[in-house]
């Protein structure tokens, strides 16, 4: 049985009461004051006249059709082909901190592959006492941990170096997601293989590699591998989606997304970095003098106002306004977020929805008033190391304009009197 509501066109009467409600909102804290009978209240609606769908209509639920625009989006001109490409999380439309897998950005170098759990093998080799191969079931028998971590592609905001470019938080800052992962620590698996053969662990590395055609491979210092890396097989409580590396991916908390190898197939203990393509010619920042920064793994503290923003304009009238956004740091927990409405001249400290957690997204709110004045909206994150998110000018002074990766500068949205917002740059 199918069941659908007719899309209701507002009657003239509704329109009038709706308009009156906007006026009332200006004085009465956003609550609509009754200005006449509202047919949505006084008339029996379709949804109260017939029954809804039964329990088995949707064995695995999808978002309601009215939210169909809250989806990942790609910018076709950025890459030559969608197989080796990226799309963006609709951060302008989400709230809280957890990213649903269904709209979490994807970055593939050779497309998202489909692998059965029974075909999954994970090899540990190199400088270990006993080279080992694990099946998926083997991994499930080690002690498990749960952690919420953000994963940010180093290229996030990379198009904005030269000037304001893409009009929406989804496109400027949407190469990020934040999920609760369940899995086994990399340390547990390395210790199972035994590290005596590696000798002094201080100068040792692990090389991690994916099973897809790109074999996306990265060298990770042993210290990080033994600290907090997680071999994950669940995200937000359910199996990883194929886009995110089903059945097993690596989480490298706080470090650039490229190191979070999906479809993880091999971990090799080595006595030097492999200097793979992904850690030399790619994911490296060229400075103004043509030299490159070496090993830029951690994602520096960053924040973004997700609403209001170009894709999330102010549609209500004057009066109460909730300004909200996200902050994160690859070097620890977020301690404070400030919001400016005048392009960085004055700042107000925002309310953190919950105390910042290490290497995870933090939601901030500024509960304020807006009466149609123009705003140059910015946010500025501070993390527990004392680091303060830089302005674009400060970042350019140090890094020049040849970079793509690791752009964590303060973003500006110009909010106009009609509530619409635009990506602009203030120096
Ligand atoms: N095997 C494999 N792992 C990979 C990639 C890939 O193409 N293949 N892309 C990397 C890059 S560049 C990023 S930013 C993250 C993106 O993870 P996501 O697709 O789950 O968002 O995965 C990383 N791991
Ligand atoms: Mo990436």
Q: What is the pLDDT of residues 112-135, one digit of tens each?
A: 999 999 999 999 999 999 999 999
Q: Which ligand has the shortest distance to the CA of 110?
A: 1
pLDDT value of position 67: 98
pLDDT value of position 31: 62
User: In the structure, which protein residues have their CB atom closer than 6 angstroms to any atom of ligand 1?
Assistant: 104-109, 151, 153, 177, 210, 212, 214, 216, 243-244, 257-258, 260-263
Q: Whose CA is nearest to atom 23 of ligand 1?
A: 258
pLDDT by residue (tens digit) across 140-181? 999 999 999 999 999 999 999 989 999 999 999 999 999 999
Q: How distant, in Å, are the alpha carbons of 89, 193, 195, 332, 340 from that of 133?
A: 35, 9, 16, 33, 53
pLDDT at 14 over 70: no
pLDDT value of position 35: 82
pLDDT range class, residue 34, cuts 50, 70, 90 = confident
pLDDT value of position 326: 99
Q: What is the mean pLDDT of residues 396-407?
A: 93
Q: Whose CA is nearest to atom 8 of ligand 1?
A: 216
pLDDT by residue (tens digit) across 76-106? 998 989 999 999 999 999 999 999 999 999 9
Domains of the chain: 88-293 (3.90.420.10), 302-424 (2.60.40.650)
Buried-exposed string 83-121: b where 16+ CB fall within 10 A, e elsewhere: eebbbbbbbbbbeebbbbbebbbbbbbeebbebeeeebe
Q: Which ligand has the shortest distance to the CA of 89?
A: 1
Atom number of ligand 1 nearest to Cα 244: 20
Q: Whose CA is nearest to atom 11 of ligand 1?
A: 258
CA 10 / ligand 1 centre spacing (Å): 45
Q: Which ligand has the shortest distance to the CA of 278?
A: 1
Are 189 and 135 in contact by the 8 Å Cβ rule? The answer is: no
pLDDT value of position 214: 96
Are 282 and 154 in contact by the 8 Å Cβ rule? The answer is: no
pLDDT at 384 over 80: yes
Q: Which two tokens stand for residue 185?
A: 């620590």
Q: What is the mean pLDDT of residues 383-393?
A: 97
How many C-beta atoms lie closer than 10 Å to residue 129's C-beta?
13
Atom number of ligand 1 nearest to Cα 212: 1
Q: Which ligand has the shortest distance to the CA of 252?
A: 1
Q: Which of 103, 245, 253, 299 should be mutated for ligand 1, with most atoms under 8 A from CB?
A: 245
CA 219 / ligand 2 centre spacing (Å): 15
Sheet architecture: strand order including 217-221 = 132-134, 122-126, 264-270, 205-210, 217-221
pLDDT value of position 427: 67
Atom number of ligand 1 nearest to Cα 104: 21
pLDDT by residue (tens digit) across 309-333? 999 999 999 999 999 999 999 999 9
**Average pLDDT over the chain, rounded to an integer:** 92
Q: Which ligand has the shortest distance to the CA of 115?
A: 1
pLDDT at 3 over 60: no
Q: Which of 81, 260, 281, 297 should be mutated for ligand 1, with most atoms under 8 A from CB?
A: 260
More confidently predicted of 31 and 194: 194
CA 151 / ligand 2 centre spacing (Å): 9
CA 175 / ligand 2 centre spacing (Å): 8
Q: Whose CA is nearest to atom 12 of ligand 1?
A: 258
Q: Whose CA is nearest to atom 19 of ligand 1?
A: 106
Segment among 93-107, 186-200, 282-296, 312-326 with least mean pLDDT: 282-296
Atom number of ligand 1 nearest to Cα 283: 12
Are 91 and 174 in contact by the 8 Å Cβ rule? The answer is: yes
pLDDT value of position 4: 32
pLDDT value of position 5: 33
Q: Whose CA is nearest to atom 5 of ligand 1?
A: 108
**What is the SS3 string spanning the chain?**
CCCCCCCCCCCHHHHHHHHHHHHHHHHCCCCCCCCCCCHHHHCCCHHHHCCCCCCCCCCCCCCCHHHCCCCCEECHHHCCCCCCEEEECCHHHCCCCCCCHHHCCCEECCCCCCCCHHHCCEEEEECCCCCEEECHHHHHCCCCEEEEEEEECCCCCHHHCCCCCCCCHHHHHCCEEEEEEEEEEHHHHHHHHCCHHHCCHHHCEEEEEECCCCCCEEEEEHHHHHHCCEEEEEECCEECCHHHCCCCEEECCCECHHHCCCCEEEEEEECCCCCCHHHCCCCCEECCCCCEECCCCECCCEEEEEECECCECCCCCCEEEEEEEEEECCCCCEEEEEEECECCCCCEECEECCCCCCCCCEEEEEEEEECCCCEEEEEEEEECCCCECCCHHHHHHHHCCCCCCCCCCCCEEEECCCCCEEEECCC
Are 160 and 148 in contact by the 8 Å Cβ rule? The answer is: no
Within 8 A by CB and 6+ apart from 15, the residues are none
pLDDT value of position 32: 63
Atom number of ligand 1 nearest to Cα 257: 14
Q: Which of 101, 109, 263, 361 should be mutated for ligand 1, with most atoms under 8 A from CB?
A: 109
List residues, by chain if needed, whose CB lies under 5 Å from ion ligand 2.
107, 153, 257-258
Q: Which ligand has the shortest distance to the CA of 103?
A: 1
pLDDT value of position 27: 43
């Amino acid at each position: 049985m199918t069941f659908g509501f007719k899309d209701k066109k507002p009657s003239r009467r509704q329109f009038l009461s709706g308009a009156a409600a906007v006026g009332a909102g200006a004085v009465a804290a956003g609550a609509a004051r009754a200005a006449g009978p509202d047919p949505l209240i006084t008339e029996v609606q379709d949804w109260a006249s017939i029954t809804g769908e039964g329990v088995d209509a949707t064995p695995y639920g999808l978002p309601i059709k009215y939210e169909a625009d809250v989806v990942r989006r790609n910018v076709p001109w950025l890459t030559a082909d969608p197989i080796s490409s990226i799309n963006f999380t609709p951060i302008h439309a989400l709230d809280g901190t957890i990213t649903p897998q269904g709209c979490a950005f994807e970055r593939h170098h050779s497309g998202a592959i489909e692998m059965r759990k029974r075909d999954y093998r994970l090899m540990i080799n190199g400088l270990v006492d006993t080279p080992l191969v694990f099946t998926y079931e083997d991994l499930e028998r080690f002690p498990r941990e749960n952690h919420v971590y953000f994963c940010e592609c180093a290229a996030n905001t990379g198009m904005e170096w030269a000037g304001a470019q893409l009009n929406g938080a989804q496109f400027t800052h949407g190469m990020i997601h934040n999920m609760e992962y369940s899995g086994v620590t990399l340390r547990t698996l390395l210790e199972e293989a035994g590290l005596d053969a590696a000798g002094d662990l201080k100068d040792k590395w692990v090389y991690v590699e994916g099973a897809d055609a790109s074999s996306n491979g990265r060298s990770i210092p042993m210290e990080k591998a033994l600290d907090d890396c997680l071999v994950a097989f669940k995200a937000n409580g359910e199996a990883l989606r194929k886009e995110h590396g089903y059945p097993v991916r690596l989480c490298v908390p706080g470090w650039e997304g490229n190191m979070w190898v999906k479809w993880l197939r091999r971990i090799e203990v080595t006595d030097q970095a492999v200097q793979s393509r992904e850690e030399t010619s790619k994911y490296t920042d060229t400075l103004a003098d043509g030299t490159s920064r070496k090993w830029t793994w951690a994602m520096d503290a960053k924040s973004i106002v997700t609403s209001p923003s170009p894709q999330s304009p102010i549609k209500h009238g004057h009066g109460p306004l909730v300004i909200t956004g996200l902050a994160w740091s690859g070097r620890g927990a977020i301690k404070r977020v400030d919001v400016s409405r005048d392009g960085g001249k004055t700042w107000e400290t925002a309310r953190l929805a919950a105390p910042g957690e290490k290497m995870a997204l933090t939601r901030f709110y500024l509960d304020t008033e807006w009466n149609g004045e123009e705003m140059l909206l910015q946010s500025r994150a501070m993390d527990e190391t004392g680091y303060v998110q830089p302005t674009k000018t400060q970042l350019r002074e140090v890094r020049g304009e040849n970079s793509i990766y690791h752009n964590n500068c303060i973003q500006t949205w110009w909010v106009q009197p009609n509530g619409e917002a635009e990506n602009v740059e203030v120096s």
